[in-house]
């Protein structure tokens, strides 16, 4: 484990279901991110939270709803998804103001929408 | 819009040979360029990075070069080994409101043949 934990690792949901993805980090980082990784596509930034405030929403459909209750936890609430939303959802964190700007990624949640 | 182009999309080399992956970026304000390695079924992991005030950086068999004028940066892997087989992502980052704005390349799938 790198310090960023995502649950669940795998999720199969119907288009009418509501589910949530969870991300947790205990690295002392203060910025957290949701990325979508689809086959043969670049990593797509979905949301950025810095100091628990959403600072970027990259034109993501409203069926994806993020929540950041504190600097260690990040959620992605899902409802009425479409089959094309099936992908690997990666959470990442970084430390704002740190000289090392790199991300630490979680292992991801493999989401399948049926 | 801002983007990062990465080439080639697939690269196959013989064990012991060198591998070079190239990226170009469009946003001249980018000042941090990380490279991530993602093995099959695993999370992306930061392997090396370079800042805009540096032209080259080396870490054992891995080196990165940056040409700010041309907006090019490259990853060089020498004496490749089968365990280097993975997808490699380049990225270009800059400070945005509240955190990093990072654009990823589409990835290069590297195969190292024993």
Q: DSSP of B71-90, one letter per residue?
A: TEEEEEE-S--GGG-EEEEE
Q: Provide, as residue numbers in chain B, all residues whose Cβ is less than 8 Å from the Cβ of A90.
A: 43-44
Per-residue model confidence as pLDDT tens digits over A11-59: 999 998 999 999 999 998 888 999 999 987 788 889 888 876 776 766 8
Confidence (pLDDT) at B2: 78
Q: What is the reported pLDDT for B96?
A: 67
CB atoms within 10 A of CB A59: 6
Cβ-defined contact of A103 to B34 (cutoff 8 Å): yes
Whose structure tokens read 């940066």? B73
**Cβ of A50 under 8 Å from any chain B Cβ?**
yes
Q: Which of residues 91-110 of A touch B (CB under 8 A)?
A: 94, 96, 100-108
User: For residue B37, what is the nearest residue in chain A, using CA coordinates?
Assistant: A105
Peptide bond into A14 cis (omega under 30): no
**8 Å CB contact of A55 and B97:** yes
pLDDT digits 0-9 by tens, B14-35 = 999 999 999 999 999 999 999 9
Q: Note the pLDDT of residue B97.
A: 63
Whether residues A42 and B107 touch (CB distance < 8 A) is answered with yes
pLDDT at residue A99 is higher than 70: no
Residue A30 has what pLDDT?
84
Per-residue pLDDT tens over the stretch B75-108: 999 999 999 999 999 999 887 665 667 889 999 9
A9 interfaces chain B, CB cutoff of 8 Å: no
Of B19, B15, B101, B44, nearest in space to A57 by CA: B101
Per-residue confidence (pLDDT) for residue B109, from 0 to 100: 96
What local confidence, expressed as pLDDT, does residue A40 receive?
73
The label of the residue with tokens 């964190």 reads A93
Sign of the dihedral defined by the CA atoms of residues B108, B51, A105, B27, in that order = negative
Interface contact flag, A42 B106, Cβ < 8 Å: yes
List the structure tokens of A10.
């795998």
pLDDT of residue A48: 86
């Amino acid at each position: 484990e790198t310090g960023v934990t995502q649950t669940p690792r795998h999720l199969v949901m119907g288009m009418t279901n509501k589910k949530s993805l969870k991300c947790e980090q205990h690295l002392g980082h203060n910025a957290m991110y949701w990325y979508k990784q689809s086959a043969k596509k670049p990593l797509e930034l979905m949301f950025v939270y810095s100091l628990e405030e959403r600072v970027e929403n990259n034109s993501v459909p409203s069926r994806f709803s993020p929540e950041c209750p504190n600097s260690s936890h990040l959620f992605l609430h899902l409802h009425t998804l479409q089959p094309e939303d099936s992908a690997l959802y990666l959470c990442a964190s970084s430390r704002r103001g740190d000289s090392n700007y790199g991300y630490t990624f979680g292992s991801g949640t493999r989401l399948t929408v049926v | 819009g801002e983007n990062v182009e990465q080439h080639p999309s697939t690269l196959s080399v013989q064990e012991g040979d060198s591998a070079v992956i190239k990226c170009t970026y469009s946003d001249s304000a980018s000042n941090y360029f990380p490279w991530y390695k993602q093995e099959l079924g695993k999370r992306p992991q930061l392997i090396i990075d370079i800042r805009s005030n540096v032209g080259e950086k080396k870490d054992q068999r891995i080196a990165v070069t940056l040409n700010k004028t041309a907006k090019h940066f490259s990853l060089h892997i020498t004496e490749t080994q089968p365990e280097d087989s993975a997808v490699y992502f380049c990225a270009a980052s800059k400070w945005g409101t509240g955190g990093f704005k990072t654009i990823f390349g589409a990835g290069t799938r590297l195969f190292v043949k024993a």
